[in-house]
């Protein structure tokens, strides 16, 4: 019984193993046939490639968009920036090199073949339909054709088409230069369909809004700007022919200040400081201060003109214009300040010259009389009384004017007596001092001179009037009277000379005390630097803390 069952189990297993082997052989045979067919197709492909392309273009009308009369054609785009810059402030434009890619589906170009993608050259572009994309704010766009047209065209099995061009685009960049040179700008690039409205064709971003525009760091070749980033957006523009979808890319630029600090700001600050150095120069140094003022004003004018060369002719004032204007005002004010100092100094000198001379008060002295002479006459009387009469006559002439006294003295001396002025001059050693002597000293000297002449001369005949004196000659032989009156007369002469020496000349107005520093200069030394420092502090705090970036498309 056991052996019979074992034989039945063995015979049941044999047919199962045979069936497994048969299935394996069938699979191997099918695989060999499939591989052989593939080899035959690969051998046939080079020969049938032209036929495939001809079949794709057979009955194809490139004048009609894909899905004409049906759904809207969607064109997906993305941009790869190879070079960004330069940016022109004067022309308000920027230039960049890009790879501009467009992708759409044209089911008329679907095919069946051994490869997934047909990589074709630019000759195929003219035979199929392509979007009529143009740049709305482009001033000049160039498609590169060296050494051949730089275009890429690919067709996939499902009819998807990739079309890429290398372009150099010069686009308009509107700039608001109110905050120049601390400004920022958003330069747009706008493109869309020229003929198809949004009911027939629309544009979308291939990789989404954040990754569809690529700008590698090494592609930026800007000198005056930093490329902060870029944003994308889309909008619909209405016109007479319909509504069109417009795609926009905003490149955000921030200006660098290094060039303007070196070329404009620092020279302006140094020029203002130089103009304020003149406040420390003496006000009498008119040429030096005039050179300071004129030179700094001309320097500020030159800086203002040169700063405008790198800017368009805008009708509003920029931040740099305000800074230059204030610096020019400080420099010009320094020149006006010196003009005011010079004017008031000259006016003060003129007023001092017009003031009368200040003479010191005449010292109060006891009037000198001819008492000593009277005493001498009493002690030595003359029999004829001629000496007393002569002295009485001279005493009556004291109230008269000085020229009369001098004339009488000269006449009485009959040419031998010296005039009064030389006599006084000999006593004092200076003729100018005598001219400023007081009337009392003149009278005293006149009496002394006349008495001296009387001592030297004795009249031949007595006379009581000046007429007799004029015609009476003198004799020199009177030694006794000269001996008696000599000491007294010398005393009178010495007293007159002392009075002349005590007279001080009148003080004339001088300008020696008007030099030095003016009060206006003293105030300007403090007011000007403090004002300029406060202006700089406010200026830089306001503009550096201000967000001058133009945010668009964000």
pLDDT, position 441: 46
Q: Which helix (H) or strand (E) holds 450?
A: helix 439-456
Q: Which helix (H) or strand (E) holds 426?
A: helix 420-428
Give the distance from CA 148 to its chain's centroid: 53
- Evaluate whether 251 touches 187 at the Cβ level (below 8 Å): yes
pLDDT string in tens for the chain (554-residue length): 445 545 555 454 555 666 677 776 677 676 666 555 544 444 545 556 778 788 889 999 999 999 998 899 999 999 999 999 899 999 999 999 999 999 999 999 998 877 888 888 888 999 999 999 999 999 999 999 988 999 999 999 999 999 999 999 999 999 999 999 999 999 999 999 999 999 999 999 999 999 999 999 888 878 889 999 999 999 999 999 999 999 999 999 999 999 999 999 999 999 999 999 999 998 888 898 999 899 999 999 999 998 888 888 889 999 999 999 999 999 999 999 999 999 998 888 888 888 775 555 555 544 444 455 455 445 554 444 554 555 555 445 444 444 443 433 343 333 344 443 433 333 333 333 333 444 444 544 454 455 445 444 444 333 344 333 434 444 444 445 555 555 655 666 666 555 454 444 555 555 554 556 788 999 999 999 999 999 999 999 999 998 877 655 44
Rounded to two decimals, what is the model's pTM? 0.64
pLDDT, position 206: 94
Cβ neighbours of 245 (radius 10 Å): 18
Beta pairing class for 93-105 and 225-239: unpaired
Please tell me the distance from the alpha carbon of residue 160 to that of residue 103, in angstroms, as a whole number: 7
Q: Which helix (H) or strand (E) holds 19?
A: helix 2-57
Please tell me the distance from the alpha carbon of residue 52 to that of residue 436, in angstroms, as a whole number: 136
């Amino acid at each position: 019984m056991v052996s019979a069952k074992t034989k039945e189990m063995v015979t049941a297993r044999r047919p199962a193993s045979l069936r497994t082997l048969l299935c394996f052989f069938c699979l191997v045979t099918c695989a060999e046939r499939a591989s052989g067919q593939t080899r035959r197709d690969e051998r046939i492909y080079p020969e049938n490639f032209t036929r495939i392309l001809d079949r794709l273009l057979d009955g194809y009308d490139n004048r009609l968009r894909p899905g004409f009369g049906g759904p809207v054609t969607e064109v997906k785009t993305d941009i790869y920036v190879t070079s960004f810059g330069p940016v022109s402030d004067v022309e308000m434009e920027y230039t960049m090199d890009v790879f501009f890619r467009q992708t759409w589906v044209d089911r008329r170009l679907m095919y069946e073949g051994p490869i997934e993608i047909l990589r074709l050259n630019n000759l195929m572009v003219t035979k199929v339909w392509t979007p009529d994309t143009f740049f709305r704010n482009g001033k000049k766009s160039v498609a590169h054709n060296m050494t051949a047209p730089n275009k890429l065209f690919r067709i996939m099995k499902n009819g998807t088409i990739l079309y890429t061009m290398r372009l150099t685009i010069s686009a308009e960049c509107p700039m608001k230069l109110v905050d120049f040179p601390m400004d920022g700008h958003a330069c747009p690039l706008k493109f869309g369909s020229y003929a198809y409205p949004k009911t027939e064709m629309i544009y979308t971003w291939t990789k989404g809004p954040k990754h569809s525009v690529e700008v590698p760091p090494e592609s930026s070749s800007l000198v005056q700007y930093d490329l902060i980033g870029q944003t994308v957006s889309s909008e619909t523009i209405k016109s007479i022919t319909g509504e069109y979808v417009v795609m926009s890319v905003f490149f955000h630029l921030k200006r660098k200040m290094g060039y303007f600090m070196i070329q404009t700001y620092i020279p302006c600050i140094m020029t203002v400081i130089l103009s304020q150095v003149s406040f420390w120069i003496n006000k009498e140094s008119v040429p030096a201060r005039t050179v300071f003022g004129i030179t700094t004003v001309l320097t500020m004018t030159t800086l203002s003109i040169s700063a405008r060369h790198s800017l368009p002719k805008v009708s509003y004032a920029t931040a740099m214009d305000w800074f230059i204007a204030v610096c020019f005002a400080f420099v010009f004010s320094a020149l006006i300040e010196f003009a005011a100092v010079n004017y008031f100094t000259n006016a003060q000198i003129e007023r001092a010259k017009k003031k009368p001379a200040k003479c010191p008060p005449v010292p109060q002295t006891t009037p000198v009389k001819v008492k000593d002479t009277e005493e001498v006459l009493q002690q030595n009387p003359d029999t004829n009384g001629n000496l007393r009469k002569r002295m009485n006559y001279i005493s009556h002439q004291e109230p008269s004017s000085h020229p009369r006294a001098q004339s009488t003295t000269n006449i009485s001396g009959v040419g031998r007596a010296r005039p009064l002025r030389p006599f006084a001059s000999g006593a004092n050693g200076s003729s100018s001092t005598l001219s400023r002597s007081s009337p009392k000293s003149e009278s005293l000297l006149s009496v002394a001179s006349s008495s001296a002449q009387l001592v030297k001369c004795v009249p031949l005949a007595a006379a009581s009037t000046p007429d007799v004196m004029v015609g009476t000659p003198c004799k020199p032989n009177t030694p006794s009277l000269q001996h008696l009156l000599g000491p007294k007369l010398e005393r009178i002469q010495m007293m007159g000379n002392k009075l002349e020496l005590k007279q001080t000349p009148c003080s004339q107005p001088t300008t020696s005390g008007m030099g030095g520093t003016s009060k206006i200069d003293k105030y300007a030394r403090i007011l000007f630097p403090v004002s300029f420092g406060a202006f700089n502090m406010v200026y830089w705090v306001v503009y550096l803390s201000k967000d001058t970036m133009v945010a668009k498309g964000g």
